[in-house]
Amino acid sequence: MSIELRHFRCFLAIADTLSITRAAERLHLTQPAVSRTLRQLEQELGLRLVDRTTHHLALTPDGLSFRDQAAIAVTAFDRALGQAPHTAWPLRLGHAWSAAGTDTTALLRRWHEEHPATPLELLRIDDRTAGLARGDVDAALLRGEVRAPGLITDQLTTEPRVAGLPADDPLAHRTALSLTELTDRTIALNTVSGTTTLDLWPAAARPASTITIGNTDDWLAAITGGRAVGVTTSATADMHPHPSMAYVPLTDAPPVPVVIAWRDGPGHPRIPDLVRLAHEVIGRTAGGDARRAGSGTSTGTGTSTGTGTD
């Protein structure tokens, strides 16, 4: 037996739903057929992808790793079939939050002027790599340290950190704050696509209370609703002004690197043009550094480190 695309689709349905029953419903197959297809894939790969008990199903470490590769393969196949002859091949640029900040419009317009035959599609995807690791996009604008294997990152600039506060908060009218002044507050942490963690604070002065949210919209709602305060970068302040929100610079928080990332392997032929334009528009005053994420192997000069937030 050889592995076919149906094996990948079946495994991805299981990975998404964590249920043989729901995967079968999604694929319009019987449960035995889904179980059989999964078993065939595992036998052919020589890997156990799914741990299954009577009441529980979870991906194994091999399953988690294979999920992203399977998603890339299926996405590439579907995209190739959907690409009609003589039509433009869009370049998909992902971001998890705030895109290129105030440079977003300039980047999109410059691209349209210089590469009118290749549409640049900007997609917000609430994921640490903005869909890049799964193959949903061709490149991504990301903040903070990128550890996903198989990605190359090139630093464009850095952004200063700011505190996000309700506009009527006693600290909202300050010209600057320190992290320790937020220690007694509840901190909103975006654990899906953000990069702020409690490690940002000194070990002896970490906030005791946090709430977990999954995207920038919920982060803003938690703060403007008075449930929490947060830490983000200046790009969020620029892209998400709100009458009930105040952004105050933080004096003792390190800046956050902004990188453009792409997969280490064959990809869209216009990626080098996008990287070059991103440096011209976003990185006008910052040096860049290309490296394989997660490997520490530099393919440029300088360094690309740091943690950031939302």
Cα distances (Å, whole numbers) of residue 163 to 46, 73, 171, 282: 49, 40, 10, 23
- Provide the whole-model pTM: 0.71
Split at pLDDT 50, 70, 90, the class of 12 is confident
66 φ, ψ (degrees, to nearest 5): -70, -25
CATH number of 5-82: 1.10.10.10
Give the tens place of pLDDT for each residue, 74-96.
Answer: 877 776 665 555 456 789 999 99
Determine the Cα–Cα distance for residues 274 and 287; give it in Å rounded to an integer.
16
CA distance to 83, 110, 127, per residue, from 255 (Å) = 41, 27, 21
- Cβ atoms 98, 235 nearer than 8 A: yes
CATH 1.10.10.10 segments of the chain? 5-82
pLDDT for 97-140, tens place per residue?
999 999 999 999 999 999 999 999 999 999 899 989 888 899 99
The predicted-structure confidence for 230-255, as pLDDT tens digits, reads as follows 999 999 999 999 999 999 999 999 99
Which token pair is 260?
């453009």
Whether the predicted pLDDT of 167 surpasses 90: yes
Q: Where are the domain boundaries for CATH 3.40.190.10 in the chain?
A: 91-158+256-293, 161-249
How far is it, in rounded angstroms, from Cα 97 to Cα 139? 14
Beta strands per DSSP E along the chain: 50-52, 57-59, 91-95, 120-124, 139-143, 151-159, 161-166, 186-190, 209-213, 230-233, 245-249, 256-263, 290-293
Compute the residue count for the chain. 310
91-158+256-293 topology per CATH: D-Maltodextrin-Binding Protein; domain 2 (3.40.190)
The CATH T-level fold of domain 161-249 is D-Maltodextrin-Binding Protein; domain 2 (3.40.190)
The C-alpha angle with vertex 303 and arms to 254 and 284, in degrees rounded to 5, equals: 80
Q: Is the dihedral of CA 17, 18, 19, 23 positive or negative?
A: positive
